[in-house]
A = this chain, B = another copy of it.
Amino acid sequence: MNFMEQSGLDAAFDAIGSILGDRLTTSLAVREQHGKDQTYHPGAVPDAVAFPHTTDEVSAIVRICAGHQVAVIAHGTGTSLEGHIAALRGGITIDLMAMKRVLEVNAEDQDCRVEAGITRQQLNDHLRDTGLFFPVDPGADASIGGMTATRASGTNAVRYGTMRENVLGLTVVMADGEIIRTGGRARKSSSGYDLTRLLIGSEGTLGVITEIRLRLFGIPEAISAAVCSFPSVEDAVNTVILTIQSGVPIARVEFLDTLSMKACVGYSGLEGYAVAPTLFLEFHGSNAHVAEQTETVKGIAADFGGGDFQWAAGAEDRNRLWQARHDAFWACKALRPGASAIVTDVCVPISRLAECVATVDEEIRRAGLIAPIIGHVGDGNFHLVMLVDLDDADEVARARNLNRHMVEKALSMGGTCSGEHGVGYGKIGFLDAEHGPGTMRAMRQIKQALDPQGIMNPGKIVEI
């Protein structure tokens, strides 16, 4: 594929510029800002950044890029973690953050339709008066478009599901600039191929998502959060396994290992919390049902040596607690000032989670790294935050090695190389081992069919 021949690029700029005016820029500062996500993966600067206001404008941009074989990279808040937005082959980054309208809210049907650039917090602010909320919460205040494109999940997924379960339909600009709609307002459908699900998690490699129809949920009558520490990782995990087996619809259950608790206690002022393997729990429901769920889980936790529940029943305490959980990344970074974070995640069957964490713990020690572990334990998903000096080649090599071992361990347990961070180009090398050559061939065939020129976010997920 011949990308970026200067003549084609110039012609594309001219054509797009005539539509967008100064909303197309080649300013180096803007380009650099758009070529790099929050991680250690090296960025790659696009040749220009476009700021469309409508799906039609996105369509026009992609059509022009297709005509000149110029790469197209969709961009939301830039909070992805596997190098998703690096313009590996140059091209034009489409920044969708000006598209943040709420197009519909249907309270009776508990759905809405939004533009890709709205963030989850902006959406929830908009919904405040309706009694409804959108539950998927990956931590960062990411855009709904980016969350859809990366199949995001996060703390609430154990109860409410991931983007996979909560997107009803999409408006997408395909690789030739055609605008298509997938899915619809019906809660379920058996009418043809599930293009919605195919596009969720496709990371901009099959099309640019410009609008998303979402499921919403009623804000529960009661919400209650608690913290409980355990003698060991295994005890914490077993508490979660039994909780789920008991049919308790726990809304969030987060695991923090001793080191990450130490980080959070220091960073977020969680004085009084034990520095030990810990669960952060949240219960949603009616008052009576929340009380019942809590009693059940307290009983289970006690059987596994869990300490007393420390409550955060008021909204303020609760927000402080979850803010601390969301800030855990920054808290961990503060454990080694000046260091960079190499962040990775895997997901395994929950029955194997304690063993997987123990193995990774042992590898951390052996590698001589500082690397707290934090997990969405109800899903069997956990994150490793390796704090390294990126200028120390040997340390970086040990961290990469640890990442590889963690993925291999997860795959050997029937797990996945990425529970929620996606593939980008950071994990592209693991897909063969996870899926096998036949399955990867099917993915490439689909990529080839929908993006025959390979212009959509090239170098991510699959190469054609």
A residues near B (Cβ < 8 Å) are: 106-111, 131, 150-153, 157, 161-162, 164-165, 174, 178-182, 184-195, 197-198, 200-202, 206, 217-218, 220-221, 241, 244-247, 249, 285-286, 288-289, 292, 296, 347-351, 379-381, 410, 413-423, 427, 430-431, 434-436, 438-443, 445-450, 461-462
A to B CB contacts below 8 Å, 10 in the list: A108-B349, A131-B245, A180-B438, A184-B416, A185-B413, A186-B419, A187-B350, A188-B379, A192-B443, A195-B443
Q: Which residue of B lies closest to A417 (CB)?
A: B191
Given contacts A181-B435, A434-B184, contact A422 B190 (CB under 8 A): yes
Task: Pick the contact of A194: B201, B245, B247, B249 (CB < 8 A).
Answer: B201
Q: Which residue of B lies closest to A196 (CB)?
A: B197
Contacts of A349 in B (CB 8 A): 106, 108-109, 111, 185-187
Whether B180 contacts A442 by the Cβ 8 Å rule is: yes
13 further contact pairs, Cβ within 8 A, besides A109-B349, A184-B415, A198-B198: A107-B245, A109-B380, A153-B188, A153-B190, A164-B197, A182-B439, A184-B434, A187-B347, A188-B420, A191-B431, A192-B443, A198-B446, A445-B450
Given contacts A244-B110, A438-B174, A445-B449, contact A150 B198 (CB under 8 A): no
CA of A109 to CA of B198 in the docked complex: distance in angstroms? Answer: 26
CA of A108 to CA of B380 in the docked complex: distance in angstroms? Answer: 12
Contacts of A165 in B (CB 8 A): 161, 165
What's the number of copies of this chain in the assembled complex?
2
CA of A421 to CA of B195 in the docked complex: distance in angstroms? Answer: 18
Task: Pick the contact of A438: B179, B193, B288, B415 (CB < 8 A).
Answer: B179
Contacts of A189 in B (CB 8 A): 151, 347, 416, 418-419
Contacts of A184 in B (CB 8 A): 414-416, 434
Contacts of A249 in B (CB 8 A): 249
Q: Which residue of B lies closest to A292 (CB)?
A: B288
Given contacts A442-B450, A450-B445, contact A190 B247 (CB under 8 A): no
CA of A179 to CA of B435 in the docked complex: distance in angstroms? Answer: 12
CA of A289 to CA of B295 in the docked complex: distance in angstroms? Answer: 13
Q: Which residue of B lies closest to A111 (CB)?
A: B349
Chain B nearest CB from A40 CB (Å) reads 19
Whether A379 contacts B187 by the Cβ 8 Å rule is: yes
Whether B192 contacts A164 by the Cβ 8 Å rule is: no
CA of A443 to CA of B441 in the docked complex: distance in angstroms? Answer: 18
Whether B198 contacts A461 by the Cβ 8 Å rule is: no
Task: Pick the contact of A446: B164, B188, B193, B350 (CB < 8 A).
Answer: B193
CA of A448 to CA of B289 in the docked complex: distance in angstroms? Answer: 51
Whether B414 contacts A190 by the Cβ 8 Å rule is: no
Given contacts A190-B150, A194-B164, A292-B286, contact A108 B351 (CB under 8 A): yes
Whether A182 contacts B108 by the Cβ 8 Å rule is: no
Contacts of A446 in B (CB 8 A): 193, 198, 446, 449-450
Contacts of A188 in B (CB 8 A): 151, 153, 157, 162, 164, 347, 379, 381, 416, 419-420
Whether A218 contacts B245 by the Cβ 8 Å rule is: yes
CA of A461 to CA of B192 in the docked complex: distance in angstroms? Answer: 6
Chain B nearest CB from A166 CB (Å) reads 11
Contacts of A193 in B (CB 8 A): 198, 201-202, 206, 443, 446-447, 461-462
Whether B190 contacts A419 by the Cβ 8 Å rule is: yes
Chain B nearest CB from A240 CB (Å) reads 11
Chain B nearest CB from A176 CB (Å) reads 9
Q: Which residue of B lies closest to A424 (CB)?
A: B190
Contacts of A157 in B (CB 8 A): 188
Closest CB pairs A-B (n = 5): A197-B197, A185-B414, A449-B449, A189-B416, A108-B351
Contacts of A410 in B (CB 8 A): 186
